[in-house]
Structure 1
Amino acid sequence: MESQIHQIHQQMMNKEITCTQLVQDRLDLLKSNTHNTVNSLLDLKALELAANVDAKIESGQEIGLLEGIPFGIKDVYMVQGTLTTSSSELLKNYKSSYTATAIQKLLDAGAIPLVKENCDSFGHGSSSENTIFGAVKNAINPELVGGGSSGGSAVNVAKDYTVFSIGGDTGGSIRQPAGYNKVYGFKPTYGRISRYGIMAYASSTDCVGPIAKSIEDIRIVLNVMSGKDVKDQTTYQSKAISEEAVLNADQIKTIGYFKNFIESEAIDAQVKSDFLASLEKIKAKGIKVKELDFFESDTLVSTYYTLAMAETASNLSRLDGTNYGARIEGDNLKDTYSITRSENFSEETKRRIVGGNQVLSQGFSDEIYLKGLNLRDQIADNFEKDFQEVDIILSPVTPSTPPKIGDSLKDPLAMYLSDAYTVGFSLGQLPTLTVPQGTATGLQISAAKNNDELVLKFAHFLKDTI
Structure 2
Amino acid sequence: MESQILKIHQQLMNKEISCTDLVKGKLDLLKPNTHQTVNTLLDSLALDLAAKVDAKIENGETIGVLEGIPFGIKDVFMLQGTVTTASSNLLKNYKSAYTASAIQKLLDAGAIPIVKENCDSFGHGSSSENTIFGAVKNAVNQNLVAGGSSGGSAVNVALDYTVFSIGGDTGGSVRQPAGYNHVYGFKPTYGRISRFGLMAYASSTDCVGPIANTIEDIRILLNVMSGKDIKDQTTYVSKEISEESISKVIGIKTIGYFKNFMESDAINPKIKNDFLASIEKIKAKGIEIKELDFFKSDILVSTYYTLAMAETASNLSRLDGSNYGNRIEDKNLKESYAITRSENFSEETKRRIVGGNQVLSQGFSDEIYLKGLALRDAISENFENDFKEVDIIISPVTPSAPPKIGDSLKDPHAMYLSDAYTVGFSLGQLPTLTIPQGTETGLQITAAKNNDGLVLQFANFLKDLI
TM-score range, shorter chain: over 0.9
Partner of 1:407: 407
1:196-215 equivalences in 2 (<5 Å): 196-215=196-215
Residue 249 of structure 2 corresponds to residue 243 of structure 1: no
> What displacement does 1:338 show?
0.2
Aligned partners of 1:376, 1:24: CA distance in 2, in Å?
47
Partner of 1:320: 320
Residue 212 of structure 2 corresponds to residue 216 of structure 1: no
Partner of 1:35: 35
Post-superposition CA distance 1:14-37 (Å, at most 9, x none): 000000000000000000230000
Aligned partners of 1:268, 1:250: CA distance in 2, in Å?
33
Partner of 1:398: 398
Aligned partners of 2:325, 2:450: CA distance in 1, in Å?
37
Q: TM-score w.r.t. structure 2 length?
A: 1.00
Partner of 1:231: 231
Residue 359 of structure 2 corresponds to residue 359 of structure 1: yes
Give the partner amino acid of 1:318.
R
Aligned partners of 2:33, 2:41: CA distance in 1, in Å?
12
Post-superposition CA distance 1:362-392 (Å, at most 9, x none): 0000000000000000000000000000000
Aligned partners of 2:380, 2:340: CA distance in 1, in Å?
39
Partner of 2:25: 25
Partner of 2:179: 179
Partner of 2:464: 464
Post-superposition CA distance 1:31-51 (Å, at most 9, x none): 023000000010001000000
> What displacement does 1:250 show?
2.3
Post-superposition CA distance 1:130-181 (Å, at most 9, x none): 0000000000000000000000000000000000000000000000000000
Aligned partners of 2:383, 2:127: CA distance in 1, in Å?
28
Aligned partners of 2:169, 2:249: CA distance in 1, in Å?
26
Residue 275 of structure 2 corresponds to residue 275 of structure 1: yes
Post-superposition CA distance 1:259-313 (Å, at most 9, x none): 0001111000000000000000000111000000000000000000000000000
Partner of 1:148: 148
Aligned partners of 1:131, 1:250: CA distance in 2, in Å?
44
Partner of 2:193: 193
Residue 156 of structure 2 corresponds to residue 161 of structure 1: no
1:37-436 equivalences in 2 (<5 Å): 37-436=37-436
SS in 2 for 1:32: coil
SS in 1 for 2:267: coil
Post-superposition CA distance 1:187-215 (Å, at most 9, x none): 00000000000100000000001000000
Aligned partners of 1:45, 1:301: CA distance in 2, in Å?
41
How many residues align? The count is 466
Aligned partners of 1:342, 1:69: CA distance in 2, in Å?
40
Give the partner amino acid of 2:313.
A
Aligned partners of 1:19, 1:316: CA distance in 2, in Å?
40
Unaligned runs of 5+ in 2: none
> What displacement does 1:464 show?
1.1
Q: TM-score w.r.t. structure 1 length?
A: 1.00
Give the partner amino acid of 1:99.
T
Identity of aligned residues (%): 82
> What displacement does 1:450 show?
0.3
Unaligned runs of 5+ in 1: none
